[in-house]
Amino acid sequence: MEEEGGEEYLFKIVVIGDSAVGKSNLLSRFARDEFDANSKATIGVEFQTQVVQVDGKEVKAQVWDTAGQERFRAVTSAYYRGAVGALVVYDISRRTTFDSVKRWLDELNCHCDTTVARMLVGNKCDLENIREVSIEEGKSLAEEEGLFFIETSALDSTNVIAAFEIVIRAIYSNIG
C-alpha cells in the first residue's frame, strides 16, 4: 500500500488459545493499555489496530480476537485468512490450556502456511503461586514446534508489548 509518507505495512495477527487464557486482555493491554478483571467471553470486537515503528517504518498491526468463538470450537477460516502472525496463548496456572496448544497449532497449520510468524505465549505469569506449567516446559514445546516463546501478564503488563513486537519484527524481516 503506497501512501504520502512512503510505504505502509499492514500485518494481520491472530490470537488463539483456549477460553479464558487472557487473549482479549492481552489485546486490550497492547492496543489500549487497558485490563478488565471481569471481562466477558464475548466482547464483540473483531480486531484492533495498533501502529508500531519498525526500522523507522510505520507498521499497522491488525490484531484479531476470537470474541469467544473458541468455546464452541468454531473459529472460522475467515478468522485465519490472510494472517501473517499468530499468538498461541495458554494460562500458566491451568495445565489443560497448555495441553490444548498442539490442537491450536494443528488448526493454525490447517488454515495458514508455515511462514506465519508464531509465538507461544504463557499468560498470567503474575500467578506464580498457583503455576502449573513451568517456564522450561513452555520453552521446550516452543523449540519442538519452532515457535518463539514468552511469558506475559496482561494484568501487570509484563512482556505484553514485547510479545507483539517480536512477532511484528519477525513478519517484517520475513517480507524484507
Residues lying near ligand GDP in the complex (CB under 6 A) = 19-25, 36-37, 39, 41, 123-124, 126-127, 153-155
Q: Which of residues 117-136 bind Mg ion (CB under 5 A)?
A: none
Q: How far is the CB of 16 from ligand GDP (least distance, A)?
A: 9
Q: Which three cell numbers stand for residue 128?
A: 506464580
Q: Is 24 in the site for Mg ion (CB under 5 A)?
A: yes
Q: Which is nearer to Mg ion, 21 or 120 (CB)?
A: 21
Residue 25 binds which one of Mg ion, ligand GDP, none, with CB within 5 to 8 A depending on kind?
ligand GDP
* Ordered DSSP codes for 103-134: HHHHHHHHHS-TTSEEEEEEE-TT-GGG--S-
Residue 123 binds which one of ligand GDP, Mg ion, none, with CB within 5 to 8 A depending on kind?
ligand GDP
By CB under 5 A, which span of 1-9, 16-24, 52-60, 86-94 interacts with Mg ion? 16-24
The β-bridge relationship of strands 6-7 and 57-64 is: unpaired
Q: How many CA atoms lie within 13 A of 123 on its CB side?
A: 29
Place of cell 475467515: 78
Strand order in the sheet with 57-64: 47-54, 57-64, 9-16, 85-91, 117-123, 148-151
Residue 126 binds which one of Mg ion, ligand GDP, none, with CB within 5 to 8 A depending on kind?
ligand GDP
| Residues in touch with Mg ion (CB under 5 A) | 23-24
